[in-house]
Amino acid sequence: GFIGANFVHYWRRHHPDDGVVVLDALTYAGNRANLDGLTGVTFVHGDIRDTALVERLLADHGIDSIVHFAAESHVDRSIHGPAAFVDTNVIGTLSLLTAARAVWLAGSGRAHRFHHVSTDEVYGTLGPNDPAFSETTAYAPNSPYSASKAASDHLVRAWHHTYGLAVTTSNCSNNYGPFQFPEKLIPLFLINALHGRPLPIYGDGMQIRDWLHVEDHCRGIEACLRQGRVGETYNIGGGAELPNLA
């Protein structure tokens, strides 16, 4: 996927001695070519909901960190087909947590980290004069997508407090950058403009988003992994709030 592929490129550049295992179901927004040219990466075509597969990968490769990117993430798609979002984002996260607990807590007992990548959409919508979201903002998801991500955030938190799994969570703002699937605003507009097609914008285009370049997001995740406190949540924003029309 988009953010995960960028993270693998980032991690291999900055931590060349680390091996990386990529587990991806290659659904419509996944592209194996996003990892072309990389060494030290093992690619596994599989589903995060296959708990037995995840357990085997953790054990066989001696994995000590999971960075969980896998998600259905398009709000419009979630409105028309919410079940897939619950299936991947909630049941998929449960599967990864179950496997991590089995291997890391009941099995090897090794030092580990489960980092869960989430979204600022779990906090709901800001009014024009509202203060920015913080890590203590109450959850108020407004779409099936954001509700499914909120549920997965709560599962990750529960596995830390109930079972002692070493977790961190990051909630990011809107990403953009290389490899992004062209259903999203920026690549959709670029591709349509290049082909002389209409530029479809939702409503009046004045919805404000905070834009975050994907590599800055990857640096934020690295900071969570290396310096983050276990059990904590970290918001990662770009500091670039703009109306969609702008």
State the catalytic residue, choosing from 24, 123, 145, 153: 145
Query: Could you give the CA distance from residue 184 to residue 206 in angstroms, rounded to a whole number?
Result: 16
CB 232 within 8 A of CB 168: yes
Return the beta strands (E) in 97-216 as ranges. 113-119, 167-172, 174-176, 208-213
Q: What is the pTM of this model?
A: 0.94
- pLDDT values of the chain reduced to their tens digit, one per residue, 246 residues: 999 999 999 999 999 999 999 999 999 889 999 999 999 999 999 999 999 999 999 999 999 999 999 999 888 889 999 999 999 999 999 999 999 999 999 866 779 999 999 999 999 988 778 888 999 999 999 999 999 999 999 999 999 999 999 999 999 999 999 999 988 899 999 999 999 999 988 788 888 889 999 999 999 999 999 999 999 999 999 988 888 888
Burial 17-46 (b: 16+ CB within 10 A, else e): eeebbbbbeeeebbeeebbeebeeeeeeee
Catalytic residue among 24, 55, 72, 120: 120
Give the CA angle between residues 203, 72, 75 to the nearest 5°.
10
Q: Which of 72, 121, 153, 210 is catalytic?
A: 121
CA distance 44 to 96: 15
Place of tokens 């490899």: 179
In the residue annotation, 28 being an active-site residue is answered as no
Whether 120 is catalytic is: yes
Distance CA 245, CA 111 (A): 46
Q: What does DSSP assign to residue 39?
A: S
